[in-house]
């Protein structure tokens, strides 16, 4: 079992918060720890163990966070991010970063993590803890007295990991398989919207290609075709012509490019407007909002080219005014939480609403739900969060979010994603990346989050995935955050990588944003 190597001597020096240093070495004994647990995409809690798992492709890799409290209670979080990479992702690195700053946490582990996480001081990486086997996770939690598990990625949630942990008596931050269907099945999400009066784009669901094409012909283009199930962020086609729409239907329903995820498709009206990401923590009955964020899905400048997992983001998002945020909470988030409870599958975890602010009405429409933290939005949110993440997540697990509020740093944050040339298509792996330490030193409040990195035989950082780095910066305003982020990006020496040069353009007057002008 992977657990047999979980002993202090073989692992690198434990990363600890300064005021608690030394506690781990003297108190890391299973007999000294309580038998409580937490699993999720970020871990939190005073003296509890939290595990979180993330998935972003057909191949998986795990990431584990662990927090130990001053009272010897263990808090560990395990996340797995799969983007055909081995190790943790940028979202997981950001969560490690936030947990390591949490006063409730003494130490953070990441399993397996990646080269950047292991050298950042944000976590101690444990490369051989297998978190894909529920029995193995439960055994680990029992052995080490884990108190809380926070499950972050969609795939293990949809497959029922949270169910298994709860059945084993382990408190878990993350929805059950039934509740995770909000992301696992777009048809289910749409059904909930229809049943509880939540504004979303007009749609129909099809399993027959001919029927889908007939509906598309009646509706006209542009139109959107989505695989019903999980497709690693690639199951959406925005068709500008009928021919493109027919081709998308055939690729999913006839050619089966997404396997079982594409056995049904959602044909949805195209809503013109501005996208925004809205996150809320949910305890089954109550919900509290996180700060607003906006990401950039298209691979190229000016929002051109195919969709990706995200090429950058910023927070807060000016398009989501306080008034609109209240509308989102009252008309989308809270009705969903209430509806899921009435359906008999209460939602506990992170509810991530992908929104479109309708150009015609100015009102938000729900485009999709995710049941975990978004990436790259997580990076900008975690650098701005000033509240104790651990305590907040534990409150969610206990059904105690009512009355809880979050504290955020003033100003703005921006992340620019650096990806391997060719992404989201085929790309070369193991290209060398240099000057990462120098990039973090170009200006205050710059942080480089690693999504897909490893070391080569000479000790150099190398790229192992499509999206590889998230260069994140805070500033007094969005303009300063942008300038810091791009200053750091330009310091990095990576001939095999590329990045968008216009992240944040929607928030600036056109005459102000001209990086290449």
- Residue closest to 227 by CA, chosen among 198, 202, 206, 199: 206
User: What per-residue confidence (pLDDT) applies to 172?
Assistant: 81
Say if residue 417's pLDDT is above 90: yes
Tell me, what's the pLDDT at 369? 93
Say which residue, 324 or 84, is predicted with more confidence: 324
Strands 265-269 and 223-227: antiparallel
Q: How confident is the model at residue 210 (pLDDT cuts 50, 70, 90)?
A: very high
Please state which of the ranges 396-400, 417-421, 481-485 shows the lowest mean pLDDT: 396-400
Mean per-residue pLDDT over the chain, rounded: 80
Query: Mean pLDDT, to the nearest integer, of 179-197?
Result: 94
Residue of higher predicted confidence among 492 and 134: 492
Considering the domain 83-176, what is its CATH architecture? 3-Layer(aba) Sandwich (3.40)
For residues 160 and 464, the model is more confident at: 464
Q: Residue 85: its pLDDT value, please?
A: 17
The answer to whether residue 171 scores a pLDDT higher than 80 is no
Question: Which conformational region is residue 21 in: left (phi greater than 0), alpha (psi within -120 to 50 degrees), or beta?
Answer: beta
pLDDT band (50, 70, 90) for residue 53: very low
The answer, yes or no, to whether residue 294 has pLDDT greater than 80, is yes
pLDDT over 70 at 5, yes or no: no
Q: How far apart (Å, rounded) are the C-alpha atoms in residues 136 and 140?
A: 6
Mean pLDDT of 151-169: 80
Contact predicate 361/228, CB 8 Å: no
Confidence of residue 372 (pLDDT cuts 50, 70, 90): confident
Q: What percent of the chain has pLDDT over 70?
A: 78
How would residue 86 be classed by pLDDT, with cut points 50, 70 and 90? Answer: very low
pLDDT digits (tens, 9 = 90+) for 443-467: 999 999 999 999 999 999 999 999 9
Tens digit of pLDDT for each residue in 218-250? 999 999 999 999 887 778 888 999 999 999 999
Assign a CATH topology to domain 202-270: Dna Ligase; domain 1 (3.30.1490)
Q: pLDDT tens digits, residue range 428-445?
A: 999 999 999 999 999 999
Q: How far apart are CA 198 and CA 178, in angstroms?
A: 19
CA pair distance 347, 285, nearest whole angstrom? 8
- 12-50 residue pLDDT tens: 334 433 322 222 222 222 222 222 222 333 333 323 333
208-217 b/e (C-beta count within 10 Å ≥ 16 → b): eeeebbebbe
Determine the average pLDDT of the residues in 65-75.
Answer: 31
Mean pLDDT, residues 296-321 taken together: 91
Residue 341: CB partners within 8 Å, gap ≥ 6? Answer: 284, 285, 347
Q: Give the least confident one: 36-50, 76-90, 166-180, 254-268.
A: 36-50
Q: Are strands 298-300 and 223-227 parallel, antiparallel or unpaired?
A: unpaired
- pLDDT tens track for 194-208: 999 999 999 999 999
How much is the pLDDT for 439? 98
- pLDDT for position 152: 60
pLDDT at 293 over 70: yes
Structural contact between residues 461 and 435, judged by C-beta atoms closer than 8 angstroms: no
- Would you tell me the crossing angle of helices 377-384 and 90-100 to the nearest 10 degrees? 10
> Residue 415: left (phi > 0), alpha (psi -120 to 50), or beta?
beta
- As a whole number, mean pLDDT of residues 60-71 equals 33
Of 229, 280, 294, 288, the C-alpha closest to 259 is: 229
Rounded distance between C-alpha atoms, residue 268 and residue 142, angstroms: 46
CA-wise closest residue to 470 among 431, 414, 390: 414
Mean pLDDT computed over 490-498? 98
pLDDT at 107: 66
Going from N- to C-terminal start, the domains of the chain cover 83-176, 202-270
Nearest to 113 by CA among 76, 145, 86: 86
Task: Kindly list the distances between the CA atom of residue 367 and the CA atoms of 29, 236, 370, in Å, as whole numbers in the listed order.
Answer: 47, 11, 10
Confidence bin at 512 (pLDDT 50/70/90) = low
How does strand 223-227 pair with strand 412-420?
A: unpaired
Average pLDDT over residues 488-495: 98
Give pLDDT, residue 510.
53
Q: State yes or no: pLDDT of 490 exceeds 50.
A: yes
At residue 120, the 3 state secondary structure works out as: helix
Which tokens belong to 237? Answer: 């086609």
Closest among 444, 438, 472 to 93, alpha carbons compared? 472
pLDDT digits (tens, 9 = 90+) for 310-336: 999 999 998 899 999 999 999 999 999
């Amino acid at each position: 079992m992977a657990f047999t190597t979980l002993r202090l001597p073989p692992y690198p020096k434990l990363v600890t918060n300064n005021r608690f240093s030394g506690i781990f070495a003297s108190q890391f004994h299973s007999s000294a720890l309580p038998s409580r647990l937490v699993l999720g995409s970020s871990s939190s809690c005073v003296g509890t163990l939290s595990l979180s798992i993330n998935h972003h492709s057909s191949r998986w890799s795990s990431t584990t966070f662990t927090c130990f409290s001053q009272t010897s209670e263990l808090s560990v979080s395990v996340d797995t991010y799969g983007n055909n990479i081995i190790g943790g992702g940028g979202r997981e690195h950001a969560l490690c970063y936030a947990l390591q700053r949490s006063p409730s946490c003494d130490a953070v582990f990441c399993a397996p993590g990646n080269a950047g996480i292991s050298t950042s001081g944000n976590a101690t990486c444990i490369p051989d803890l297998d978190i894909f086997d529920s029995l193995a996770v439960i055994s680990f939690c029992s052995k080490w007295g884990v108190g809380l598990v926070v499950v972050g990625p969609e795939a293990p949630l949809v497959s029922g990991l949270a169910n298994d942990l709860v059945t084993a008596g382990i408190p878990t931050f993350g929805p059950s398989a039934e509740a995770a269907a909000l992301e696992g099945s777009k048809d289910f999400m749409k059904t909930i919207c229809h049943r509880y009066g939540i504004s979303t784009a007009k749609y129909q669901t099809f399993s027959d290609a001919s029927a889908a094409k007939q509906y598309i012909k009646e509706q006209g283009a542009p139109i959107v075709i989505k695989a019903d199930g999980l497709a690693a962020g690639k199951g959406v086609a925005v068709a500008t012509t009928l021919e493109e729409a027919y081709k998308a239907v055939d690729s999913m329903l006839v050619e089966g490019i997404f396997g079982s995820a594409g056995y049904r498709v959602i044909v949805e009206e195209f809503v013109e407007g501005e996208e925004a990401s809205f996150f809320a923590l949910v305890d089954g009955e109550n919900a509290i909002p996180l700060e607003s964020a906006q990401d950039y899905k298209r691979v190229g400048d000016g929002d051109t080219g195919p969709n990706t997992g995200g090429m950058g983001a910023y927070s807060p998002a000016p398009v989501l005014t306080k008034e609109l945020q209240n509308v989102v909470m009252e008309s989308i988030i809270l009705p969903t939480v209430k509806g899921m409870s009435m359906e008999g599958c209460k939602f506990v975890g992170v509810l991530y609403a992908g929104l479109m602010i309708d150009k015609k009405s100015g009102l938000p429409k729900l485009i999709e739900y995710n049941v975990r933290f978004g990436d790259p939005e997580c990076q900008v949110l975690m650098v701005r969060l000033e509240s104790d993440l651990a305590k907040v997540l534990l409150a969610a697990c206990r059904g105690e979010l009512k009355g809880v509020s979050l504290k955020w740093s003033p100003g703005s944050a921006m992340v620019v994603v650096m990806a391997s040339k060719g992404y989201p298509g085929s790309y070369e792996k193991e290209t060398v990346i240099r000057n990462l330490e120098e990039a973090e030193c170009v200006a205050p409040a710059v942080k480089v989050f690693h999504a897909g990195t490893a070391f080569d035989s000479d000790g150099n950082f190398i790229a192992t995935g499509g999206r590889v780095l998230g260069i994140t910066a805070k500033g007094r305003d969005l303009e300063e955050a942008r300038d810091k982020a791009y200053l750091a990006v330009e310091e990095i020496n990576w001939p095999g990588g590329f990045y968008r040069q216009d992240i944040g353009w929607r928030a600036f007057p056109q005459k102000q944003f001209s990086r290449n002008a």
